[in-house]
Amino acid sequence: MIKTWSTPVETETTRTIPCILCGGEVFTPHLFYEGFSYVRCTCCRLVQMNPQPEHDAVRRRYQEGYGGDYLAYELANEAAFLRLQELALGDAGVDSNTALSVLDIGCATGALLEKLRDRGWACTGVEISPAAEYARKERGLDVRSLPLEENRFPDTDFDLVLASHVIEHLNDPAAFVAEVHRILKPGGHFIVTTPNIAGFQARLFRGRWRSAIFDHLYLFSVKTLSRLLTGKGFAIERVRTWGGLAAGTAPAPVKRIADRAAKRLGVGDVMLIRGKRLPAKSTLSAAR
Ligand SMILES: [Zn+2]
């Protein structure tokens, strides 16, 4: 089983934090792999690395290119990743021919933004790894190297915010979702893609699951991610999961059947949730 690209495990200062979803402080062991482990909150069942590395250490990993040549990895897989992202946008119901203002958080080399820009979209990216420089220099894109919250984007600035394979890397996904809510226009959409801990492959492979990696601090299910989004002012409009068996783990015909079944049953390896930005809570209470 080939794992997703990850920083090599190293010893970092860690600390135990209350569950970011429910504030709970009681956890049970859940998944183990070489050098790290996950626990599950007994209250809301969110699977998390806890104790977890400090924010600064996590940030350094990505700024230094995941402890390896991350840009080369991104470039080598760019066409495949772009195709997956375009399929995901279609699954999310986004018509790329209708130009909007979009923020792609974790945009890597900016391949998707370049395509959208060519169709008339107003494009901004956030990418803290060295891939940002490539996106700026080679593609002329507006890509910011600071983490989302530090860019101080104006209120209600974007029609659409994308975060593909980002939220599971963050120390505080709750603060991240709140910030996305702030910068989206009312009625704007947030499309989150992340590995699905409740999917077939996660259940089958447990600690050997390709997404159980040092860099993933949270492993969401549709339930836990939906709860996070609704708690921060989003209405869940669409949920999709896909991926039944990883490439190379089964003959192609078997993989095709497994992929179709996983998507239909909602037990795919990766999930996508489209949330619609509702008015902020303070606005609601003021209107009463
Ligand atoms: Zn919890």
Report, as an integer, the average pLDDT of 247-268.
84
Cα separation, 102 vs 115, whole angstroms = 12
- Give the pLDDT score at 61: 86
- Give the pLDDT score at 256: 87
- Residue 53 near residue 12 (C-beta atoms within 8 A): yes
CA 221–ligand 1 middle distance (angstroms): 13
Report, as an integer, the average pLDDT of 272-282.
87
CA 197–ligand 1 middle distance (angstroms): 15
* Span of 129-133, 169-173, 254-258, 268-272 with lowest mean pLDDT: 254-258
Helix intervals (H) in 184-280: 200-205, 222-231, 252-265
286 band by pLDDT with thresholds 50, 70 and 90: very low
- Give the pLDDT score at 285: 47
pLDDT tens digits, 99-111: 999 999 999 999 9
Cα separation, 108 vs 141, whole angstroms = 11
pLDDT tens digits, 116-129: 999 999 999 999 99
Other C-beta atoms lying within 10 Å of the C-beta of residue 16: 10
Q: Tell me the percentage of the chain whose pLDDT exceeds 90.
A: 70
Residue 43 pLDDT exceeds 60: yes
Query: Which helix (DSSP H) or strand (DSSP E) does residue 104 occupy?
Result: strand 101-105
Residue 215 pLDDT exceeds 60: yes
CA 251–ligand 1 middle distance (angstroms): 39
Asked whether the whole model's pTM tops 0.75, one would answer: yes
Long-range contacts of the stretch 117-121 (C-beta < 8 A, 24+):
117/141, 121/96
Report, as an integer, the average pLDDT of 32-57.
92
CA 88–ligand 1 middle distance (angstroms): 28
Cα separation, 288 vs 282, whole angstroms = 10
pLDDT tens digits, 130-157: 999 999 999 999 999 999 999 999 999 9
CA 46–ligand 1 middle distance (angstroms): 6
- Give the pLDDT score at 259: 87
pLDDT tens digits, 175-214: 999 999 999 999 999 999 999 999 999 998 888 899 999 8
Cα separation, 32 vs 39, whole angstroms = 9
- Give the pLDDT score at 67: 67
CA 252–ligand 1 middle distance (angstroms): 39
Cα separation, 64 vs 129, whole angstroms = 7
Other C-beta atoms lying within 10 Å of the C-beta of residue 69: 12
